[in-house]
Structure 1
Amino acid sequence: MSETQIDIIRHGEPEGGRRYRGSSIDDPLSKIGWQQMWDAVPEKPPWEHIITSPLSRCLKFSEALADTMSIDFSVVENLKEIGFGSWEGRTPEDIKNLEGDALEKFLLDPVNNRPEGAEPLDDFANRIWTVYEDIAEQYHGQHVLVVAHAGVIRAITSSILGMALDDVYSRLKIEYAAVSTTRISAGKKPVMVLT
């Protein structure tokens, strides 16, 4: 098989409700989140390997799926979600109440309005793209599943489609357990596939 297919699934709903979970918040999946993930898995999963973020909302499902499928999985530290700095663990309502229009500015222009101590968006996108290229090289010709985060899918989408990071981050909504597919044919650039 000369084509490489990389399916990327966002984790399901975590425990703790809606809040900014970046690289340092490690909430597990809720009961609903587990169900969302299993519902997203096809009846006959095609994957030959699973690659996962180390955060438990991704890792625990990856372990369970790999065990069910009797295949190997790998944990990649750099697949962690982007760091949100001072917003880690905080709800949108809390940020609005305590920081005025900071959240609105962030949502309109996430590149230039990062929370204090947050990972720069360009650095994050470069980190994720390096991981993506490593996966494409290491699993060349295979069909693999990456279990990760909304930010990871946005960063990869931005790179593949050549879109500005602020456009992708402010305009692309990624639901829990949403799957994004990319394919790479020999000698060609990766493409996004909607099915």
Structure 2
Amino acid sequence: MVRWWWVRHGPTGRRDMNGWTDVPADLSDTDRLDRLADFLPAEATVISSDLTRAITTADRLQRDRARLPNEAGLREINFGAWEARSFDDVQAEDPRLVRRYWESPGDVHPPGGESWNDLSHRVGKVVDWLTGEAGDIIAVAHFGTILTQVQRARGCTPTEALAQEIDALSVTCLVWNGQGWSVDLVNHHP
């Protein structure tokens, strides 16, 4: 049995479509970070997305845990031409596409960006590759990244997955039993 302890990076304060834009995390709540680090299994291996907000959060949680190289495959969804823009700005530009993107996630993608299915495939490849290779894994990543794996474990639709909250510095624990995935914790706050 392998457990993936997904941790969403620290808050960024951003309210735009922030996927691949490399912004820092606010890690000033040291008490909360200490509680989170204490909660996570001491023997797990740490990995993170290669974006700064995930790297610095993982660095803060690592302690004496082994660390794998940062992984681009664990990045947030690529919003392409919508990247780092407000929802209102993008909505004004192409309201039909934006509506389809959020209401029917799957194969719809922003100009030059990824669809939900693209993100799920990219993250799934990394998870499949690492599961069983390093024992339990603490993966510091992003809202969409984590939700693709919640969707996988629950066998739900993208729309159902996107209805799930994943807060900054929350823990989602998914379990691989050798034959399938199950959900242990979602959006847990230690």
Fold conserved between structures, TM > 0.5:
yes
The reply on whether 1:189 has 2:188 as its aligned counterpart is no
SS of aligned partner of 1:62: helix
Matching residue of 1:95: 90
Mapped partners of 1:44, 1:93: distance in 2: 38
Whether the 8 Å contact between 1:40 and 1:178 is mirrored in structure 2 is no
Mapped partners of 2:16, 2:117: distance in 1: 22
Q: Which ranges of structure 2 fall in alignment gaps of 5 or more residues?
A: none
2:103 to 108, 127, 144: 108
How many angstroms does 1:183 deviate by?
1.5
Q: Which ranges of structure 1 fall in alignment gaps of 5 or more residues?
A: none
Mapped partners of 2:166, 2:39: distance in 1: 24
Aligned residues: 184
Matching residue of 1:73: 67
Q: Deviations over 1:40-67 (max 9, x none)?
A: 615354142101000000001212322x
The reply on whether 1:123 has 2:114 as its aligned counterpart is no
Mapped partners of 1:103, 1:63: distance in 2: 35
How many angstroms does 1:192 deviate by?
0.7
TM-score (norm 1): 0.82
Matching residue of 1:157: 150
Matching residue of 1:167: 160
The reply on whether 1:27 has 2:19 as its aligned counterpart is no
SS of aligned partner of 2:132: helix
Whether the 8 Å contact between 2:10 and 2:27 is mirrored in structure 1 is no
Superposed CA RMSD in Å reads 2.3
C-alpha spacing 1:127/1:13, structure 2 compared with 1 (3 Å): same
How many angstroms does 1:175 deviate by?
1.6
Mapped partners of 1:113, 1:126: distance in 2: 14
How many angstroms does 1:112 deviate by?
4.9
How many angstroms does 1:137 deviate by?
2.3
Mapped partners of 1:179, 1:90: distance in 2: 28
Q: Deviations over 1:79-101 (max 9, x none)?
A: 11111111100112322344445
The reply on whether 1:143 has 2:140 as its aligned counterpart is no
Mapped partners of 1:36, 1:122: distance in 2: 37
Whether the 8 Å contact between 1:86 and 1:118 is mirrored in structure 2 is yes
Q: Which is worse superposed, 57-66 or 146-155? A: 57-66
**Percent identity over the alignment?**
22
Whether the 8 Å contact between 1:85 and 1:117 is mirrored in structure 2 is yes
SS of aligned partner of 1:18: coil
Pairwise mapping of residues 17-56 of structure 1 onto structure 2 (< 5 A)? 17-23=14-20, 25-31=21-27, 38=33, 41-43=36-38, 45-47=40-42, 48-56=44-52
Matching residue of 1:11: 9
